[in-house]
Amino acid sequence: MPADAIYPALYRSLISRIDAEDAHVLAVRAIGWAGRFEPTRRLLRATVGRRPAVPVAPAPHGPFARQLPSIVGLAAGMDKNGTAILGMDALGFGFVEVGTVTARPQPGNDRPRAWRHPEIDGLRNAMGFNNSGADDLAARLRELRSTRRGRAVVVGANIGKSKVTPVKDAVADYAHSARVLARWADYLVVNVSSPNTPGLRSLQSVDSLRPILAEVQAVADRAAHRRIPLFVKIAPDLADDDVDAVAALAVELDLAGVVATNTTIDHDLGAGGVSGAPLTTRSREVVRRLRDGLGQGRTIIGVGGISSLDDARDMLDAGADLLQVYSGFVTRGPSLPGRLSRLVR
C-alpha cells in the first residue's frame, strides 16, 4: 500500500470510530507535543513535513512583511488556542491561522458538535467558537515570539464575536481581540461567517462590516506600530451581489484581502456548517468573483474542499494567491500539507 493511502485507510477503519471531537483534541495535542521538541520537529520535517528547499513563493506573496515557505496554510479552527503552531509548521504548512478566538473565553456549544460525513467526503461542525479567549492566545503568541524558531513561523490570528456580546456591540468586542493580538500576529482575520454564533453572519452586510473592519484596522495598527494586514473571512452562502459588495468594501478600506470561504449551511444534514468536498465548487466561484472585484493588488486566501493537488491548482486558477486546508488534513492525513507545499506552484 503506498504511504499516502495508509492514512485514509486508517481514517476509514479506525479513526472514524473515535468521537470526532475526541479525535480532534487528541490529534492537536499530539501535534502540539511533537512541536515542542527539536528531535520530533526534525523527524516530522524530514519525513511528511518536507517543504521545498527554495520557497515556492520567491516573491513576497501577499501583504506579509516576509516570504512564506509555501502558499499552503492551516485554516482557522483547528488550532484555536495556538497550542500546536510549531508542530503544524513542522508538518509542512507554510503558515498557520490560529483562532477563532473571542474577546471573552467561552465554552462553545454543547456536545456533540462535530460530525464526519464520509459519504460526501465532508465534515460538519457546530462548535460555536469554543476558545480560551484573545488574551490567553496573545500570551501564548508572545511566548512563541520570544524564540527564534517561533518568530520564524507566519501566524495569522482569526477573531470572532463573543457569544454574550450583543450584535450591536460587536465593534468593541472585535477591537479588544485585535488590540491584544496585533503585535504578535503576521495578519488578522475578522470572522463574520461562522454559522454557529447567533447573528454573526448578519455582520457580513457591508453596513455592519464597515465599522468593524475600520476600527479593527485602526486599533491593530496602533497597537502594533505598523500596518497590520487585515482580512475578512466570508461564507460561501453569500449571494453573488453580497460577495461583490464585500470586495468593494475591502478596496474602499484598503484591506489586505479576503479569506474565502467558511463552512456552508446549505445542507440538510443537521446543525452547523459543512466543510470539505461539498464546498469545492462554490468556494472557487466565490474566489473567482472576489478576484474580479478586488483586482490584482489584494490577497485572496482560498479555502474550501482542498484535498488534492488538483483541488489546489483549481483554487489557484480561480484567482487565489494563498491556500488553506482544514477538512482535507483530517481526511487525507498529516502528509497532505507537506505534499501540497512541495508540489503547488
Ligand X SMILES: Cc1cc2nc3c(=O)[nH]c(=O)nc-3n(C[C@H](O)[C@H](O)[C@H](O)COP(=O)(O)O)c2cc1C
Which residue numbers are catalytic?
194
Minimum distance of ligand X from residue 301's CB (angstroms): 9
Q: List, in sequence order, every beta strand (DSSP E) within the chain.
A: 72-74, 95-101, 114-117, 122-125, 155-159, 187-191, 230-234, 257-260, 273-276, 299-303, 322-325
Minimum distance of ligand X from residue 46's CB (angstroms): 26
Minimum distance of ligand X from residue 269's CB (angstroms): 13
Q: How far apart are CA 246 and CA 241, in angstroms?
A: 9
Q: How far apart are CA 233 and CA 228, in angstroms?
A: 16
Q: How far apart are CA 130 and CA 98, in angstroms?
A: 13
Q: How far apart are CA 110 and CA 98, in angstroms?
A: 22
Instruction: Say if CB 299 and CB 322 are below 8 A apart.
Output: yes
**Is the CB of 70 or the CB of 158 nearer to ligand X?**
158
Binding site for ligand X (CB under 6 A): 75-77, 80, 100, 114, 123, 125, 127, 129, 158, 191, 194, 233, 262-263, 275-276, 279, 303-306, 325-328
**Is the CB of 304 or the CB of 334 nearer to ligand X?**
304
Minimum distance of ligand X from residue 118's CB (angstroms): 14
Minimum distance of ligand X from residue 332's CB (angstroms): 10
**Is the CB of 41 or the CB of 195 nearer to ligand X?**
195
Instruction: Say if CB 264 and CB 256 are below 8 A apart.
Output: no
Instruction: Name, in order, each residue with C-beta under 8 angstroms of 283's C-beta and a sequence gap of 6 or more.
Output: 236, 260, 261, 302, 303, 304, 305, 315
Minimum distance of ligand X from residue 305's CB (angstroms): 5
**Is the CB of 41 or the CB of 182 nearer to ligand X?**
182
**Is the CB of 125 or the CB of 217 nearer to ligand X?**
125
Torsion, Cα of 82, 233, 15, 109 (10° steps) = 80
Q: Cα dist. 49→42, 136, 153, 250, 339 in Å? A: 9, 28, 14, 34, 8
Give the 3-state secondary structure of residue 335. coil
**Is the CB of 41 or the CB of 230 nearer to ligand X?**
230
3-state helix, strand and coil shares in percent for the chain, rounded to the nearest 5: 45, 15, 40
Residue sitting closest to ligand X (CB): 77
Minimum distance of ligand X from residue 37's CB (angstroms): 27
Exposed (0-12), middle (13-18) or buried (19+): which is 254, by Cβ within 10 Å? exposed
**Is the CB of 144 or the CB of 325 nearer to ligand X?**
325
Number of residues that make up the chain: 345
Instruction: Say if CB 338 and CB 48 are below 8 A apart.
Output: yes
* Beta sheet of 122-125, edge-to-edge order: 114-117, 122-125, 273-276
Give the 3-state secondary structure of residue 1. coil
